[in-house]
Copies of this chain bind each other. A is one copy, B any other.
Amino acid sequence: MHFSDRIKAMQTSPIRRLLPFSDEAKKAGKKVYHLNIGQPDIKTPDGYFEAVRSFKVDTVAYAASQGRDDLRDAIVEYYRAWDIPFERGDVYITNGGSEALWFAVMTICDPGDELLVPEPFYANYNAFAQSALARLVPIPTKAENGFHLPPAQVIEKMITPKTRAIWISNPGNPTGAVYTASELEAITALAKKHDIYIIADEVYREFTYDGEKFTSAGHMKDALDRVIMVDSVSKRFSACGARVGCVAIKNKEFMAQVLKLCQGRLCVSTLEQVGAAALYKTPKSYLEEVNREYKARRDVLYSALKGMDGVVCEEPKGAFYVMVKMPVDDAEKFIIWMLGNYDVNGETMMGAPGNGFYAPGAERGKDEMRLAYVLKKEDLVKAMNVLKGALAAYPGRVEAIKA
């Protein structure tokens, strides 16, 4: 049977494709610490369950394609607290941040169009770009430099007549980088000069750890007609399974165009929108508490990694991921080996192979692994103990990190 070239060229998710190996380990009676996926163990606020339990209608009807007004208004109020001036008409509800990203790409890209994206980047960006047959053009960033952006003139040289947007994840998945106000201003100036968009994936906005003030693309007030903001309740309120996000921009024509895609899939779950509206009413203390918890987890993870012979990584400043360079021949082989062959008292762990966070076909990141510090500290300590032992015992260990 025939399959499209489009789908054949799409990679499987590096975050999920090794799950059969962790399933095998579990079948063999082992406990597996999942640091491969950004699935936090933090409690979802009670407001979600209360809203869901009190939802009673005769018929579970379609919502508006744009999303429920109560949720859109709750998000507008949330943005206001961040000094981001969106109004209801600027915000459409989506099936998670994922759909918002995909809609953004479809709205601005035809086949062959280019999207500049700091690399390494969230693996599923490949899937969204490939669906639209757009091309991700990686802006190289380096661990040694905290994965910060290169100077504007380096980025500018990569802009062509086919470039449609600069696409950032800030705070960064998988890098943990948090861009400075100057970096935001620099790419905004480029976007204006070359009349392109900024796709700003800010689903980790609350998760910065070292007291710096977070600068949002939504603060670039003279460019909000070209800032496509992407957001989600998944990480903010530890509600990944709710699948509620939004796309927002102060650009009426963009909203008119993207509405066609919203109408094509009819609407986002009515009940989940009710739950999400309640989530946005969560007291601020919840987010402060969560922030403290992730910071503590980061500290546990980072200090453990620093103590491992041959491992290289930079302290992440935001989100809840870290990219780790390891003294191994191939990170994917190593993870599979660890799941199958290494445990400490019946416990093992799992990361996501780093190569999947680079542009398709790249050899980069083959000795890297993304770890998500989404488990409680005791579990992270045990997982790092597994990792340390596994790295020492792995038959494919190499003596020195490749440059």
Contacts and interface: CB of A to CB of B under 8 A. Distances in A.
Contacts of A264: 10, 13, 98, 102, 124, 127-128, 131
Interface residues of A, number: 85
A41 B59 CA distance: 6
A282 interface: no
Contacts of A16: 65, 263
Max chain B Cβ within 10 angstroms of own Cβ: one of A6, A7, A132: A7
B127 A261 contact: yes
Given A60-B241, A272-B272, A106 B7 contact: yes
Contacts of A7: 106-108, 257-258, 260-261
Interface stretch (A47-55, A201-209, A301-309, A378-386): A47-55
Contacts of A291: none
A114 interface: no
B259 A12 contact: yes
Contacts of A128: 264
B257 A241 contact: no
A265 B132 CA distance: 14
A271 interface: yes
A277 to B, nearest CB: 14
Interface string A49-77: 10011011111111101000000000000
- How often does this chain occur in the complex, in copies? 2
Contacts of A17: 263
Given A107-B7, A241-B270, A259-B12, A62 B39 contact: yes
A42 B58 CA distance: 8
Contacts of A124: 263-264, 266
A239 interface: yes
Contact of A261 (B39, B63, B131, B240): B131
B266 A96 contact: yes
Interface string A248-265: 000101100111110111
Contact of A1 (B111, B195, B266): B195
A246 interface: no
A40 interface: yes
A93 to B, nearest CB: 12
Contacts of A96: 265-266
Interface in A84-129: 95-96, 98-99, 102, 106-111, 113, 124, 127-128
A46 to B, nearest CB: 10
Contact of A253 (B1, B39, B251, B257): B1
A2 interface: yes
A166 to B, nearest CB: 14
A253 to B, nearest CB: 7
Given A7-B261, A241-B270, 8 more contacts: A3-B107, A10-B261, A40-B59, A60-B240, A95-B95, A96-B265, A124-B264, A241-B267
The 5 A-B pairs of least Cβ separation, nearest first, read A127-B264, A241-B270, A13-B263, A60-B241, A60-B239
Interface of A: 1-8, 10-13, 15-17, 37, 39-44, 48-49, 52-53, 55-63, 65, 95-96, 98-99, 102, 106-111, 113, 124, 127-128, 131-133, 164, 195-197, 225-226, 238-243, 251, 253-254, 257-261, 263-272, 275
